Chains A and B, each alone.
Chain A
Amino acid sequence: MSAASRSLFAFWRRSPASAGEAPSLPWLTFACCALLVAAAIFGNWIAPYSKEAVSLGASLLPPAWQQGGSMQHLLGTDQLGRDILSRLIAGARISLATAAAATLLSGAFGVLVGLVAGYVGGIVESIAMRVVDAFLALPFILLALALVATLGTGFGNIIIVMVIANWARYARLVRSEVLSVKHRDFVTLARIAGVRPLVIMLRHVLPNVLNSVVVLAILDVGRAIILESSLSFLGVGIQPPDVSWGLMLADGRTLMVFAWWLTTLPGLMIVFAVLSFNSLGRWLHVRFDPRGQL
């Protein structure tokens, strides 16, 4: 790894180059992200009820602090008497799992394309970059909708849709970073020394472009959460009996006048999750990749 770039993977070992340059560790952001991840992983054990537990006797209860609310259902219940808090936690699991899987897979595929295109160059690069342009020429949600129309809805398909809609951004970023690295001395020396191209790409070029990829990926988690919840809200994303924040919003829409908590609480969760991951991404960006082009 070159001396100029600080490694993202060892930030706790190094002190900032100068005090004014990077903001201090954002503990609040870390805590919020950790809370969401914990809810996603351990949700089944934390949630007071099953996400599907129907109880018609207790339908449309308001949150506990409002008149008519009960301590049994802290954030109230929906029209079928399902506990909102439990469903929000279950929604965290689906939303974060979709976002994480989509981001990882599209990152991996985009990095592969960008690495090969940038390193090999020539006709391979031209073709790959035109294809990247075609994918980036469509508004993200429109491309996703076009894909949903043929691939179908549901958890697995939504991940595939998000990967196809998103990989091109990584390919473009990695290719431009590779171009700036590939004529540096250590790469040239490796080539002269007879190291195989595949090894050069993975061992010497890839580590130098990973910082910006990770920053883009963290910022993408927020985008992915919004995209998934938008698709689910439109009725073409996650399907019942799975729970997603966007789906809860769509379900509660018609009853919004009588029960504000049905739409407001899932919306707040989306905003909270997106804000947390975006501010983590922005901090990483300033700290590790200040000149990076995102």
Chain B
Amino acid sequence: MAFYLLRRIGETFVTLLLITLLVFCLTRLTGDPAALLLPPESTEEARQYFRVHHGLDRALPIQYVTYLRNVAAGDFGMSFRLNEPAIDVVWRALGPTLSLAGAGMLLSILIGMPLGIIAAASSRPWVKSVVSGYSSLGQALPPFWTGLTLVLVFALWIPLLPTSGYGAAKYYVLPAVTLAISTSSAIAGLTAANMSEALKNDFIALERVLGLSEARVLLKHALRNASLPIVTYLGLQFGLILGGAIVTERVFAWPGIGQRIVEAILARDYPVVQAVVLVTALMFMLINLLVDLFYMVLDPRLRT
């Protein structure tokens, strides 16, 4: 297990290095970084000073090592627009995004898993049809449109909830539901498929013969067997929900990293773009690493 763990951490590290290389190449190979990273109105002297000052006149591999050292120290340079270190902009935006993604994920699991279990356990065909219809429809709905439609109905036509903003619990309802509609439908589909497989096992039939309660059979034994692929999938879904949050934040003026990266792209504020991409990648990979560890806890066969 220790070996497996070390290998996974090593792989994560290599992947992270490759992502820094990718981001590095994106800024260095698409033109003159001095032109790209300095405001367009700056003079030629300022650009030359910038090149020498940042070592941009040196060989690319040396530049990459310098870049890596800065990134490892959390130094992505100053944001052009906000006149503060780019990494600070990201840290401030990370809290709102993570709390929104967390709320969305929780709601998705609370809606998706019961729906999946009901679909697998029910003997009525229409129940299965309704759940599989929800599953297909939910995944075809683009989150920004779901969000706008929810705003139109529940904030403008029936003024129950705020249209946008950040803070108290009522601000979370519409964005979290928006995220949950697409994610819970995916979770429901996968849970249903894995539960139906698990219910075909002989020990399930045996337990029913032995007179265990249906709830116990379903929730304790079948669900435990179905949970491995579901947990892996939840890890993947967290990446998707972060992606969905980026778009959803734009609909609800949520002060998270999605807002920041879109503003930064429109203002050509590259240090902030790079900081958002690398921090999100790091977070996403750590989550996947945690999912793998959790996997080992759930499946004793992997522990040896």
User: Are A222 and B140 in contact, CB atoms less than 8 angstroms apart?
Assistant: yes
One of B215-223, B259-267, B291-299 contacting the partner: B259-267
Taken together as a complex, chains A and B put the C-alpha atoms of A168 and B144 apart, in Å, by 26
User: Are B246 and A145 in contact, CB atoms less than 8 angstroms apart?
Assistant: yes
User: Are A278 and B11 in contact, CB atoms less than 8 angstroms apart?
Assistant: no
Q: Which residue of B152, B242, B285 contacts A137 across the interface (Cβ within 8 Å)?
A: B285
User: Are A134 and B19 in contact, CB atoms less than 8 angstroms apart?
Assistant: yes
Taken together as a complex, chains A and B put the C-alpha atoms of A210 and B266 apart, in Å, by 40
Taken together as a complex, chains A and B put the C-alpha atoms of A230 and B141 apart, in Å, by 11
Is B66 an interface residue when CB atoms closer than 8 A count as contact? no
User: Are A249 and B144 in contact, CB atoms less than 8 angstroms apart?
Assistant: yes
User: Are A137 and B19 in contact, CB atoms less than 8 angstroms apart?
Assistant: yes
User: Are A271 and B242 in contact, CB atoms less than 8 angstroms apart?
Assistant: no
User: Are A235 and B266 in contact, CB atoms less than 8 angstroms apart?
Assistant: yes
User: Are A139 and B262 in contact, CB atoms less than 8 angstroms apart?
Assistant: no
User: Are B19 and A253 in contact, CB atoms less than 8 angstroms apart?
Assistant: no
Given contacts A147-B26, A151-B30, A257-B156, contact A142 B277 (CB under 8 A): yes
Is B22 an interface residue when CB atoms closer than 8 A count as contact? yes
Q: Which residue of A130, A143, A230 contacts B144 across the interface (Cβ within 8 Å)?
A: A230
The interface residues of chain B lying within 8 Å CB-to-CB of A286 are none
Q: Which of B12-36 contact A (CB under 8 A)?
A: 14-16, 18-19, 22-23, 26-27, 30, 36
Is A150 an interface residue when CB atoms closer than 8 A count as contact? yes
User: Are B265 and A256 in contact, CB atoms less than 8 angstroms apart?
Assistant: no
Q: Which of A209-243 contact B (CB under 8 A)?
A: 222, 226, 229-230, 233-236
Given contacts A134-B22, A234-B250, A263-B145, contact A146 B152 (CB under 8 A): no
User: Are A138 and B19 in contact, CB atoms less than 8 angstroms apart?
Assistant: yes
Taken together as a complex, chains A and B put the C-alpha atoms of A84 and B11 apart, in Å, by 50
User: Are A134 and B277 in contact, CB atoms less than 8 angstroms apart?
Assistant: no
The interface residues of chain A lying within 8 Å CB-to-CB of B274 are 146
The interface residues of chain B lying within 8 Å CB-to-CB of A143 are 277
Interface residues of A (CB under 8 A from B): 130-131, 133-135, 137-143, 145-151, 222, 226, 229-230, 233-236, 246, 249, 253, 256-257, 260, 263-264, 266-267, 270-271, 274-275, 278-279, 282
Interface residues of B (CB under 8 A from A): 11, 14-16, 18-19, 22-23, 26-27, 30, 36, 136-137, 139-145, 148-149, 151-152, 156, 239-240, 242-243, 246-247, 250, 261-262, 264-266, 268, 270, 273-274, 276-277, 280-281, 284-285, 288
Given contacts A226-B142, A256-B148, could you give 7 more A-B pairs where the C-beta distance is less than 8 Å? A142-B242, A234-B262, A235-B262, A256-B152, A263-B149, A270-B140, A278-B139
